[in-house]
Chain A
Amino acid sequence: MSNTSTNILDIKNIEVMYDNVILALHDVSLKVPKGKVVALLGANGAGKSTTLKAVSTMLASERGKVTKGSINYDGTSIDKQNPSQMVGLGMVQVLEGRRCFGHLTVEENIISGAYSRKLSKGDINQELEKIYTYFIRLKERRKSQAAFTSGGEQQMIAVARAMMAKPKMLLLDEPTMGLAPQLVAEIFNIVKELNTKEGVSILLAEQNTNVALKNSDYGYIIETGRVMLDGTAKSLLSNDQVKELYLGISKKGRKNFRDVLKEESLTKKKIN
């Protein structure tokens, strides 16, 4: 991890503010090695989406700004870039909540991802066929209006659309949000496939710690805008703190809310 030239993304101590007053990230540093999958884990409001938007330069459209630190992508600073330039450089973000173009057909949605590339009709069709080999389900539904497809299909559309831009790196923001377990597995299978076959580096933000770590090489856990813990996915999965706080498993076995209440009432009795 120490050799900088092998990192496609290198974030150093960034601080992010919204509206010049709300501090969303205090100090986040992370690295994504070329061709690897890195998971960014944490609860709601921890700063996962903000980190991803800082990288894709989508922050500006939400009145956010990187106020300290630096972000380097593929050897250059992203300071002066805008989102469409970032797409041109091969970095595409799949936004949280899928965000398909509801009134467009599935196929039009996917084609729209190639907007930044200058492709002929034939090239586009060739690319489409390649994309459909990963997203077989979408090929069957190519003519339906995107708004009427299921949540899982919409997530696939969003990823397929991003892939049409031929990215070197994908930023996935909670790709499994609100999906059934089989679909979560299906989405992650596709993500892994894209990573290994197309060589796309991936930074993914997830709340689903367990599945995310099982499909990643490295993980970062952030809380209230700070990186609390990082390590290889394997080491994090076996880390006791991670187990207790994010996987709901403690040394004494499964811990649930009732146990917490019991502990609390015990300590109260002691005080009395």
Chain B
Amino acid sequence: MVDELLFFMEVLVGGLLAGTMYSLVALGFVLIFKASATFNFSQGAMVFFSVLAFCGFMQDFNIPFVLAFILAALLMVVVGLCTERFVLRPLMNASEDTVLMATIGLGYVLEGLAQAAWGVEVRRLDLGIGDFPVPWIADNLKLFISALDITAGVVAAIMIIGLFLLFKYTKIGLGLRAVADDAGAASSIGIPLKHIMLLVWSAAGVVALVAGCMWGARAGVQFALVDLALKALPVLIIGGFSSIPGAIIGGLIIGAVEKVLEVYIGPFFGGAIEGWAPYVLAIFFLLYRPEGLFGEKIIRRV
């Protein structure tokens, strides 16, 4: 009995921590959705692009770890800058659908550029953190939990706190929230949309890099990272497209639910339900709570 409980705990905690990796990817989507009211289809490509560049700097140019990370982060700011200048600004007055389509195109460009610059083979990313159980926890709590999962959890926590502080207490954060509510009114009182877009796309780029590092360390830096980002979709539906805490908690829910279901219900379906269980959960949310758990309610005065 105790063994069963321990096993359940292990599955649950493992799932929750793995979920923070989804959260990290979802964070990038939320940032851009807040400012542009657009689902950024290129987020997956940004994850792939950023982490491949990071690996490339380290492995092809022998740049030390920290410096390579800073360079990759700067590169993502440049990507944000170019996106604002060459994609968003010309589409400033276009409909949201047009911008959505543009992000799909941007995704292909980034995927192509990344592979043209750094090659197509799978790269190994060593963060110095193993993807195996931490001995101390295994000995004392009898839980087998991966060090990488714990790191992802801590990193996600730091990022959410940082972003929360940025939005709530800084001037540019206030500007961003204003633009998210009504871009026209924001520009009428002199909030420059340009700066806000630049900030948001750069921040989303850096978040993509962090998410990419975590996933790359686990699964190898490869093209599959692009599709993996789509796992963020059910996370966003559950957490709410416009909520940063929602992205985090949505990720935790998806991570925990898919692991628990896989272990306990999976065998009845012949296994591998991890792949589609989150989407089933997302459908229920779409039916009964379309704004997600933490999404901003559409406020209507009556």
Known A102-B181, A104-B178: A112·B93 in contact at CB below 8 Å: no
Query: In whole angstroms, how far apart are the Cα atoms of A92 and B188 in the complex?
Result: 7
Could you mark each residue 176-198 of chain B with 1 if its beta carbon is under 8 Å from any beta carbon of chain A, else 0?
A: 01101110111111111000000
Contact partners of B178 in chain A: CB under 8 A = 101, 104, 112, 115
Contact partners of A62 in chain B: CB under 8 A = 93
Which candidate, A27-35, A82-90, A187-195, is the interface stretch facing chain B?
Answer: A82-90
Contact partners of B192 in chain A: CB under 8 A = 84
Query: Which of these, A60, A92, A102, contacts B299 with CB under 8 Å?
Result: A102
Known A83-B187, A92-B189: A103·B177 in contact at CB below 8 Å: yes
Interface residues in B282-302 (C-beta closer than 8 Å to A)? 296, 299, 301
Contact partners of A87 in chain B: CB under 8 A = 188-190
Query: In whole angstroms, how far apart are the Cα atoms of A93 and B278 in the complex?
Result: 47
Q: In the complex, are the beta carbons of B189 and A115 less than 8 A apart?
A: yes
Contact partners of B185 in chain A: CB under 8 A = 95, 99-101, 158
B181 to chain A, nearest CB (A): 4
Say yes or no for B175: interface residue by CB 8 A criterion.
Answer: yes
Q: In the complex, are the beta carbons of B187 and A58 less than 8 A apart?
A: yes
Question: Interface residue tally of chain A, by bracket?
Answer: 35 or more
Query: In whole angstroms, how far apart are the Cα atoms of A95 and B187 in the complex?
Result: 11
Contact partners of B182 in chain A: CB under 8 A = 99-102
Query: In whole angstroms, how far apart are the Cα atoms of A116 and B187 in the complex?
Result: 10
Say yes or no for A165: interface residue by CB 8 A criterion.
Answer: yes
Could you mark each residue 153-186 of chain B with 1 if its beta carbon is under 8 Å from any beta carbon of chain A, else 0?
A: 0000000000000000001001101101110111
Contact partners of B272 in chain A: CB under 8 A = none
Say yes or no for A108: interface residue by CB 8 A criterion.
Answer: yes
Say yes or no for A152: interface residue by CB 8 A criterion.
Answer: no
Query: In whole angstroms, how far apart are the Cα atoms of A158 and B178 in the complex?
Result: 13
Say yes or no for B91: interface residue by CB 8 A criterion.
Answer: no
Q: In the complex, are the beta carbons of B301 and A162 less than 8 A apart?
A: no
Q: In the complex, are the beta carbons of B181 and A104 less than 8 A apart?
A: yes
Query: In whole angstroms, how far apart are the Cα atoms of A109 and B180 in the complex?
Result: 13
Q: In the complex, are the beta carbons of A112 and B299 less than 8 A apart?
A: no
Query: In whole angstroms, how far apart are the Cα atoms of A21 and B92 in the complex?
Result: 20
Most buried by A among B93, B187, B191, B296: B187
Query: Which of these, A63, A95, A100, A116, contacts B190 with CB under 8 Å?
Result: A116
Most buried by B among A93, A112, A148, A151: A112
Query: Which B residue's beta carbon lies closest to that of A89?
Result: B190
Query: In whole angstroms, how far apart are the Cα atoms of A164 and B188 in the complex?
Result: 13
Known A99-B182, A115-B175: A61·B187 in contact at CB below 8 Å: yes
Q: In the complex, are the beta carbons of B191 and A112 less than 8 A apart?
A: yes
Q: In the complex, are the beta carbons of B188 and A95 less than 8 A apart?
A: yes
B24 to chain A, nearest CB (A): 25
A189 to chain B, nearest CB (A): 23
Contact partners of B174 in chain A: CB under 8 A = 104, 108, 111-112, 115
Contact partners of B299 in chain A: CB under 8 A = 102-103, 145, 147-148
Query: Which of these, B92, B93, B190, B296, contacts A115 with CB under 8 Å?
Result: B190
Say yes or no for A56: interface residue by CB 8 A criterion.
Answer: yes
Q: In the complex, are the beta carbons of B190 and A61 less than 8 A apart?
A: no
Query: Which of these, A56, A88, A92, A112, contacts B186 with CB under 8 Å?
Result: A112
A149 to chain B, nearest CB (A): 9
Contact partners of A161 in chain B: CB under 8 A = 189
Contact partners of A111 in chain B: CB under 8 A = 174
Q: In the complex, are the beta carbons of A116 and B189 less than 8 A apart?
A: yes
Query: Which of these, B181, B188, B191, contacts A93 with CB under 8 Å?
Result: B188
Contact partners of A47 in chain B: CB under 8 A = none
Query: In whole angstroms, how far apart are the Cα atoms of A165 and B190 in the complex?
Result: 8
B60 to chain A, nearest CB (A): 42
Say yes or no for A219: interface residue by CB 8 A criterion.
Answer: no
Could you mark each residue 143-184 of chain A with 1 if its beta carbon is under 8 Å from any beta carbon of chain B, else 0?
A: 001011001000000100110110000000000000000000
Query: In whole angstroms, how far apart are the Cα atoms of A112 and B180 in the complex?
Result: 13
Query: In whole angstroms, how far apart are the Cα atoms of A22 and B285 in the complex?
Result: 44
Query: Which A residue's beta carbon lies closest to that of B194?
Result: A84
Q: In the complex, are the beta carbons of A56 and B188 less than 8 A apart?
A: yes
B206 to chain A, nearest CB (A): 24
Contact partners of B301 in chain A: CB under 8 A = 147-148, 151
Query: Which A residue's beta carbon lies closest to that of B179?
Result: A101
Known A103-B177, A103-B296, A147-B301: A162·B184 in contact at CB below 8 Å: no
Contact partners of B188 in chain A: CB under 8 A = 56, 58, 83, 87, 92-95, 99
A7 to chain B, nearest CB (A): 23
Most buried by A among B171, B181, B190: B190
Say yes or no for A113: interface residue by CB 8 A criterion.
Answer: yes
16 more A-B residue pairs beyond the given contacts A95-B184, A99-B184, A165-B189, with a C-beta to C-beta distance below 8 A: A62-B93, A83-B188, A84-B191, A88-B190, A94-B188, A95-B185, A99-B188, A100-B182, A101-B177, A108-B174, A111-B174, A112-B175, A113-B189, A115-B175, A115-B178, A115-B189
User: What are 14 A-B contacts with C-beta separation under 8 Å?
Assistant: A83-B187, A95-B185, A99-B182, A99-B184, A100-B182, A102-B182, A102-B299, A103-B180, A104-B181, A115-B175, A115-B178, A116-B190, A116-B191, A165-B190
Give the 6 A-B CB pairs with smallest separation, nearest first. A87-B190, A116-B190, A99-B185, A101-B181, A147-B299, A84-B190
